[in-house]
Amino acid sequence: MSPSLTPAARAPALRRLFEGLKGQALLLKSLTTLVLAAGAGVIMLPLLFLLSTSVKDRDQLRQSPPPLIPTALTLVEVNGKQEPLYRVTVDGQTREMALIKNRPGGKGLFLDPANPSQTYELVIAEQTALTHLEIHWENYAEALRQMKFDKLLVNTLLVTFLGMAGMLFSCSLVAYGFSRFRAPWLNIFFIILLSTIMLPGQVRLIPTYVFFNKLRWVDTLLPLIVPQFFANAYDVFLLRQFFLTIPLELDDAAKIDGASPLQVLLYVILPQARPALVSVAIFHFLYAWNDFYEPLIYLHSPQNWTLAVGLQTFNALYAVNTHLIMAASAVMILPPIILYFLAQRIFTQGVVFSGIKG
Amino acid sequence: MSLTPARRESLWAYAFITPWLIGFMVFTAGPMAASLFFSLTEYNIVSPPQWLGLTNYVNLFQDELFWHSLSVTFKYAAFALPLGLVFSYLIAVLLNQKIPGVNVWRTIYFLPSVVAGVAVALLWARIFDPKFGILNPFLAQFGIKGPGWLADPDWSVPALVIMSLWGVGGNVIIYLAGLQGVPTDLYDAAKVDGATAWQRFRHVTLPMTTPVIFYNLVLGLIGAFQYFTEVYVLTGGAGGPVRSTLFYNLYLYQNAFKYFHMGYASTMAWVLFVIVLLLTLLIFRSSDTWVYYEGQLKGR
C-alpha cells in the first residue's frame, strides 16, 4: 500500500484487498478441485481398463482402439450366416441393415434382413455399426482354474499371515526394548538398526540364499516366513516411535502393582499401541502379498508358488489370453483394495507415518 | 537377587532386542561378510568357492553390460525421481487444502500405492500396447502418434517412468503427513504479515517439509537400484528390447540365479552397496544447504 494514502482513503483500499484475497481463495479452491478431479481420472482409467479387459472375449479383444465399455458387434442371421448389423442411411431414411460383403473402395454390400432380396452398396465408414454390452464373467472362473489359483492362494496366505505373526511378535519385543530401557550400547545398536533401512538387500541376498540352500529350505515357504520372526528395522522403528508417545506413568502404575517388564508390554503398551500394530500389520500384508523377488528366487516348483509368481508365469505362458490374465490380475489386486477401504483412516490420516518426521 | 537395578534393566533390554540381534547376525552382518568373501571368489553353489582375489572386480569394470545396466538405472532414476518428487509433492499440497470432499480425493490418489507388483505390471503392458492399448489412442486424439513404448528400445525406459508416476501415492502419504505437521501458527503469523498464498508456500511450507522431501529422495534413490519386479514381468526377465531395460538389479539377478555366477553377482552387490552409500552421503552432505530441521534452532 502506498504511504501517500490518507487514513480515510486507506479503509476502502484495505477492504478491496481483503475481498480480493477472498475471491482469490475461492478461485484457488475451485482450481484445486479441478486439477484433483483430472488427476483422479488419470488414476482410475488404468483400473477401469483392467476391469473392462477382464470381461471381454477374444473377439472383443481384437477391437482397436479398445472400448472401455465391453461391447460387441451386434450380429444378425442372414441366409444361415451371422453378419454384423449397421444403422444405415438409404435415401434419407435410417434403417438397420446387415453388412454381407465388402466391396472395393471402402464400400460394402448391405441388405435388410427382413427383405433380403434387395441389396444396397454403401460407403462403410458413413454407417454406424451396432454394438451391445457383452460381459464375460466366466473369464474369472476360467482364469482362476487355469492358473490353479486355490493352491497359490493357500501358499500366499501362509506366507503372508505366518510372516505377519512373526513380524508382530518380534518387532513388538524389539521396539519395546529400544523404547523403555537404558542399557550400555543400546543407542549404538539402535543406530545400526536404523542404518539397515538404507542397506540395499542385494548385499546379503546371495549368502542368505546359500544358507537356506544348505538347510534344504529352498523350494519351501520357510525362507519367506522364518526371517520375519527376527524383526525388521522398518517396523521396529515405526513401533518404537509410537511406543515413545505412550505416557511413562502408565508403565509406572503397572510396575507399582508388581508387573514385570513383560507384563507391562503385554497389558499396558500393546493395548495402547493397537493403531500402530494394525498399521504395521496392514503394511506387512501389502508387502507380502505383492512381493515377487524373494518368492521368485526361493520357490521353484509350481505347487509352492505364491500368487505373484504364478501370475507372472501364467502371463509368460499364455500372453495371448489377455482377458484371462487381466481377470487373474483383477482378482490379485482385490484383497489389497478391500483392505485399503476397510483401513482407509490409517492411510489417509497417516497414523504411522506421522512418526517419521522430526 | 544380587543384581543392581541398572544391571537388571540392561538385561531386560537385551532380552527384548534379542530377536533382532540374532536376526542381524544371521540375516545381515553374517551374509554381508560372506558376500564380501564370495565377491573375491568364483562360486556356483554346487562346488566350493575358488579364490580369485580381485579378478571379479577387474572383470566387472571391463564388463560392458555392467556399465550399460548402470546407465539404464541412472537414466531411469534421473527422470523417475525428480518427476515423482515434484508430482507427489504437488498432489500432497493440493490434498492438504481445505476443500469439500478432500477425503474422497485422498482415497483415490493413494489407491495405486496398494496395488503394486506383478498384476500392475501386466496391466501396464496392455495399456502401452500400441494397437490394443489405451495410451496411444488417447495421444492420437491430440494428433500425437505414440511410440511403440515397451517394444521400442528408445521408449521402454520412459514407459517405465510413466508407470512409476502412476504409483506415486505412497510418497504422497508421507508428504501429506509432513505437511500436516507444519504448525498452523506459522501460517497465521505469515498471514498477519500479509504474505500471499505463494509466499506462504515458498517461505513456510517448503522449508518446513524439506526433511520429508529429503527422506523420500534418499529412499527413492535406493529404490531405483532395487527396481526389479516390473521390468522382470514386462520383459520376461530379459531386460529387452535389446537390453534397453537391463536394470542393475536385473543384471545382478541374471548373474546370480540364471548363470549361477554367485561370486560375480556378489561383486555386483558390493559395488552397488558402495554406489548407494556414496550417493546417500552426497545427498546427506548437500542436505545441509537445503534441509531445514526445526529442532536445530532450539539450541541457539
Q: Which domain holds residue B160?
A: 63-297
CA–CA separation, A45 and B166 (whole Å): 11
- Closest Cα partner for B235 from B75, A287, B227, A149? B227
- Average pLDDT, whole number, for chain B? 90
Q: How many domains, in total, are found in chain A?
A: 3
Chain A residues lying within 8 Å of B118, measured CB to CB: 290, 292, 308, 311-312, 315, 329, 332
* Min Cα separation A89/chain B (Å): 27
pLDDT at A125: 85
CA–CA separation, A197 and B41 (whole Å): 28
Asked if residue A253 and residue A204 are part of one domain, the reply reads yes
**Beta pairing class for B41-42 and A107-112:** unpaired
3 state SS of A68: coil
User: pTM (2 decimals)?
Assistant: 0.88
CA–CA separation, A138 and A151 (whole Å): 20
Asked if residue A172 and residue A218 are part of one domain, the reply reads yes
Q: Which domain holds residue A186?
A: 140-355
Q: How confident is the model at residue A9 (pLDDT cuts 50, 70, 90)?
A: low
Element (DSSP H or E) covering residue B103: helix B102-114
Read off the pLDDT of residues A222-274 as tens digits, 9 standing for 90 and up: 999 999 999 999 999 999 988 998 999 999 999 999 999 999 999 999 999 99
Chain A residues lying within 8 Å of B293, measured CB to CB: 358
Long-range contacts of A25-28 (CB under 8 A, 24+ apart): A25/B197, A28/B97, A28/B197
pLDDT at B52: 94
Residue B102 counted as domain residue:
yes
Asked if residue A246 and residue A333 are part of one domain, the reply reads yes
Chain B residues lying within 8 Å of A192, measured CB to CB: 24
Q: Decide if pLDDT at A10 tops 90.
A: no
Read off the pLDDT of residues B237-281 as tens digits, 9 standing for 90 and up: 999 899 999 999 999 999 999 999 999 999 999 999 999 889 888
Stated length of chain B? 300
pLDDT at B298: 41
CA–CA separation, A62 and A71 (whole Å): 12
C-beta atoms of A348 and B110 within 8 A: yes
Cell 540364471 identifies what position? B258
Q: Decide if pLDDT at A33 tops 70.
A: yes
- Closest Cα partner for A233 from A186, A275, A175? A175
- Closest Cα partner for A235 from A268, A266, A273, A205? A273
Residue type at position A123 = V
Question: Cα dihedral sign for A357, B106, A37, B85?
Answer: positive
Asked if residue A285 and residue A218 are part of one domain, the reply reads yes
Q: Decide if pLDDT at A171 tops 50.
A: yes
CB atoms within 10 A of CB B182: 18
pLDDT at A16: 63
CA–CA separation, A231 and B16 (whole Å): 11
Q: Which of A132-136, A346-350, B114-118 is least confident?
A: A346-350
- What is the full DSSP assignment across A99-128? EEEEETTTEEEEEETTEEEEEEEEEGGGSE
CATH of the domain at A82: 2.30.30
Residue B108 counted as domain residue:
yes
CA–CA separation, B163 and B230 (whole Å): 9
Q: Decide if pLDDT at A325 tops 80.
A: yes
Which of A135-149, B97-111, B285-299: highest mean pLDDT?
A135-149
Chain B's closest residue to A343, CA to CA, is B107
Distance set, CA A319 to CA A115, A311, A314, B127 (Å) = 44, 11, 8, 14
- Average pLDDT, whole number, for chain A? 88
Chain B residues lying within 8 Å of A25, measured CB to CB: 197
CATH of the domain at B152: 1.10.3720.10
CATH of the domain at A228: 1.10.3720.10
Residue type at position B33 = A
The answer to whether residue A191 neighbours chain B at the CB level (below 8 Å) is: no
Chain B residues lying within 8 Å of A143, measured CB to CB: none
CA–CA separation, A137 and A31 (whole Å): 40
Q: Which residues 99-118 of A have a C-beta within 8 angstroms of B?
A: none
CA–CA separation, B42 and B65 (whole Å): 19
Chain B residues lying within 8 Å of A40, measured CB to CB: 105, 108-109
The answer to whether residue A36 neighbours chain B at the CB level (below 8 Å) is: yes
Asked if residue A100 and residue A221 are part of one domain, the reply reads no
Asked if residue A171 and residue A115 are part of one domain, the reply reads no
Chain B residues lying within 8 Å of A198, measured CB to CB: 218, 222, 276, 280
C-beta atoms of A43 and B106 within 8 A: no
Nearest-10 Cα torsion for B44, B48, B50, B53: 90
Q: Do A225 and A256 form a contact (C-beta atoms < 8 A)?
A: no
Read off the pLDDT of residues B206-248 as tens digits, 9 standing for 90 and up: 888 888 888 788 888 888 888 999 999 999 999 989 999 999 9
Residue B243 counted as domain residue:
yes
CA–CA separation, B55 and B69 (whole Å): 20
Chain B's closest residue to A229, CA to CA, is B19
Residue A289 counted as domain residue:
yes
* Min Cα separation B228/chain A (Å): 7
* Min Cα separation A336/chain B (Å): 6
Q: Do B13 and A182 form a contact (C-beta atoms < 8 A)?
A: yes
CA–CA separation, B258 and B280 (whole Å): 30
C-beta atoms of B228 and A293 within 8 A: yes
Asked if residue A254 and residue A119 are part of one domain, the reply reads no
Which of the listed residues A79, A103, A133 is the one where a domain comes to its end? A133
Residue A60 counted as domain residue:
no
Chain B residues lying within 8 Å of A178, measured CB to CB: 13, 16-17
Element (DSSP H or E) covering residue B51: strand B50-51
Interface test with B, best of A205, A240, A270, A356 (most B CBs within 10 A): A205
Q: E-assigned strands of chain A?
A: 71-73, 75-78, 81-90, 93-103, 107-112, 115-123, 128-129, 131-133
Asked if residue A158 and residue A117 are part of one domain, the reply reads no
Read off the pLDDT of residues A272-289 as tens digits, 9 standing for 90 and up: 999 889 989 998 999 999
* Min Cα separation A115/chain B (Å): 37
Residue A222 counted as domain residue:
yes
B151: burial class by Cβ within 10 Å (0-12, 13-18, 19+)? middle
Residue B27 counted as domain residue:
no
Asked if residue A144 and residue A279 are part of one domain, the reply reads yes
Which of A343-347, B71-75, B197-201: highest mean pLDDT?
B71-75
Residue B143 counted as domain residue:
yes
Q: How confident is the model at residue A17 (pLDDT cuts 50, 70, 90)?
A: low
Q: Decide if pLDDT at B295 tops 80.
A: no
Read off the pLDDT of residues A38-73 as tens digits, 9 standing for 90 and up: 999 999 999 999 999 999 998 888 887 888 889 888
Read off the pLDDT of residues B55-84 as tens digits, 9 standing for 90 and up: 999 999 999 999 999 999 999 999 999 999
C-beta atoms of A316 and B173 within 8 A: no
Residue A62 counted as domain residue:
no
Chain A residues lying within 8 Å of B119, measured CB to CB: 311, 328-330, 332-333
Q: Do A149 and A331 form a contact (C-beta atoms < 8 A)?
A: yes
The answer to whether residue A350 neighbours chain B at the CB level (below 8 Å) is: yes
- What is the full DSSP assignment across B121-155? HHHHHHHH-TTTSSHHHHHHTTT-----GGGSTTT
Residue B31 counted as domain residue:
no
What's CA B197's distance to the chain center, in Å?
Answer: 32
C-beta atoms of A208 and B31 within 8 A: yes
Q: What is the DSSP letter of A69?
A: S
* Min Cα separation A231/chain B (Å): 5
Q: How confident is the model at residue B10 (pLDDT cuts 50, 70, 90)?
A: very high
A21: burial class by Cβ within 10 Å (0-12, 13-18, 19+)? middle
B286: burial class by Cβ within 10 Å (0-12, 13-18, 19+)? exposed
C-beta atoms of B30 and A336 within 8 A: no
pLDDT at B213: 85
pLDDT at A23: 73
Q: What is the DSSP letter of B104?
A: H
Residue A91 counted as domain residue:
yes
* Min Cα separation A6/chain B (Å): 20
- B122-141 core/surface letters (b: 16 or more CB in 10 A; e: else): bbbbbbbbbebbbbbeeeee
Read off the pLDDT of residues B16-38 as tens digits, 9 standing for 90 and up: 999 999 999 999 999 999 999 99
Residue A65 counted as domain residue:
no
Interior angle at CA B171, CA B167 and CA B173, nearest 5: 105
The ipTM (two decimal places) reads: 0.89
Point out the residue among A178, A206, A328 whose CB comes nearest to the CB of B17.
A178
Distance set, CA A80 to CA A72, A100, B229 (Å) = 20, 12, 51
Asked if residue A255 and residue A124 are part of one domain, the reply reads no
Asked if residue A262 and residue A241 are part of one domain, the reply reads yes
* Min Cα separation A24/chain B (Å): 9
Q: Which residues 269-328 of A have a C-beta within 8 angstroms of B?
A: 286, 289-293, 296-297, 308, 311-312, 315-316, 322, 325-326, 328
Q: How confident is the model at residue A12 (pLDDT cuts 50, 70, 90)?
A: low
Q: Where are the alpha helices (DSSP H) in A181-264?
A: 186-198, 202-214, 222-225, 233-244, 248-256, 261-264
Q: What is the DSSP letter of A353?
A: G
* pLDDT (mean) for A100-122: 86
pLDDT at A24: 74
- Closest Cα partner for B168 from B126, B116, B234? B116
Q: Decide if pLDDT at A6 tops 60.
A: no
Q: Which residues 44-63 of A have a C-beta within 8 angstroms of B?
A: 44-47, 49-50, 53, 61-63
pLDDT at B251: 97
Q: How many domains, in total, are found in chain B?
A: 1
Asked if residue A88 and residue A218 are part of one domain, the reply reads no
Residue B45 counted as domain residue:
no
CA–CA separation, B114 and A189 (whole Å): 32
* Min Cα separation A107/chain B (Å): 24
pLDDT at A19: 62
What would the grid cell of residue A322 be? 489377455
Cβ-Cβ pairs closer than 8 A, A with B, add up to 284
What would the grid cell of residue A331 be? 482378482
Chain B's closest residue to A226, CA to CA, is B23
Residue B286 counted as domain residue:
yes
B270 half-sphere exposure, CB direction, 13 A CA radius: 21
